[in-house]
A and B are shown apart, each in its own frame.
Chain A
Amino acid sequence: DTGVSQNPRHKITKRGQNVTFRCDPISEHNRLYWYRQTLGQGPEFLTYFQNEAQLEKSRLLSDRFSAERPKGSFSTLEIQRTEQGDSAMYLCASRRDSGNEQFFGPGTRLTVL
């Protein structure tokens, strides 16, 4: 396993701009998750994909947030019209269909000025 990768690792943007993050899961991991982690808190679930289907979304995922996994491989998370409250670490995780361990990537740290 080469591990879950996320790009970029850091993103600084101005309020009102759109940003997009990418997650590449471990090869052959069909299930992919996005979480958000703010300072001093544990990660909070945002959304889940099984292959290309988005099967679960948190109420935290406002209409400014959209996630895709078009070919069932990598995923993107887009935030439109960013707000200062969106500043956080965005974590991606993946797992096989069998087993329940989610493998986490290093995260993308977003700072909204």
Chain B
Amino acid sequence: AQTVTQSQPEMSVQEAETVTLSCTYDTSESDYYLFWYKQPPSRQMILVIRQEAYKQQNATENRFSVNFQKAAKSFSLKISDSQLGDAAMYFCAAQGGSEKLVFGKGTKLTVNP
């Protein structure tokens, strides 16, 4: 069984600043994937970034990057140059050994102008 833990229910950041959202996971699978999804208020969930566990290099997508620490089972998301449109719920998710995504409880990100 897999578990995903997001220890920060809420975070806030000033516009143009950098923020890091934390995520830890547990899995017995040797081959797995990790994801960060964004869920804006009343809008559908979209993929922000993904990481294959066998890849040592941290994934990046424009202003979004991850710090993947495999031994520590940590997968944090860094958002640089935060924008008002980044305000949303962010969910960390893991997939391995089956098709299902296992999600954390989410972190609500507020971006202050």
Interface residues of A (CB under 8 A from B): 3-4, 31, 33, 35, 40-45, 48, 55-56, 58, 91, 100-107
Contact residues in B for A41 (Cβ distance below 8 Å):
105-106
Give the shortest distance, in Å, between A2 (CB) and chain B (any CB). Answer: 13
Count of chain B residues near A, Cβ 8 A: 21
Question: Could you tell me the distance in whole angstroms from the C-beta of B38 to the nearest C-beta in chain A?
Answer: 11
**15 residue pairs from A and B, CB less than 8 Å apart:** A31-B99, A33-B100, A33-B101, A42-B93, A42-B103, A42-B106, A43-B45, A43-B101, A44-B103, A45-B101, A100-B33, A100-B95, A104-B37, A105-B44, A106-B43
B25 at the interface (CB under 8 A from A): no
Contact of A100 with B100 at beta-carbon distance under 8 Å, contacts A42-B91, A43-B91, A106-B44 already known: no
Give the nearest-CB partner of B47 in chain A: A101
- Most B CB atoms within 10 A — which of A42, A43, A102? A42
Whole-angstrom CA separation of A101 from B93 in the bound complex: 11
B residues near A45, Cβ cutoff 8 Å: 100-102
Find chain A residues with CB under 8 A from B33 CB.
Answer: 100
Q: Report how far A3 CA is from B95 CA in the complex, Å.
A: 22
Indicate whether A102 sits within 8 Å of B101 (C-beta atoms), given known contacts A42-B91, A43-B91.
yes
Q: Is the CB of A101 within 8 A of B50?
A: yes
A58 CB contacts on chain B under 8 angstroms: 100
Chain A residue contacts of B50, Cβ below 8 A? 100-101
A48 touches B100 (CB 8 A): yes
B89 → chain A closest CB, angstroms: 9
Determine whether the beta carbon of B44 is less than 8 Å from that of A56. Answer: no
Q: Min CB distance, B19 to chain A, in Å?
A: 19
Instruction: Collect the chain A residues with CB atoms within 8 Å of residue B95's CB.
Output: 100
Residue of A nearest to B103 (CB): A42
* B44 adjacent to A33 (CB under 8 Å): no
- Contact A56 B47, CB 8 Å, known A40-B105, A42-B91: no
Top-9 shortest CB links A-B: A42-B103, A45-B100, A104-B45, A106-B44, A48-B99, A42-B91, A104-B44, A43-B103, A101-B47
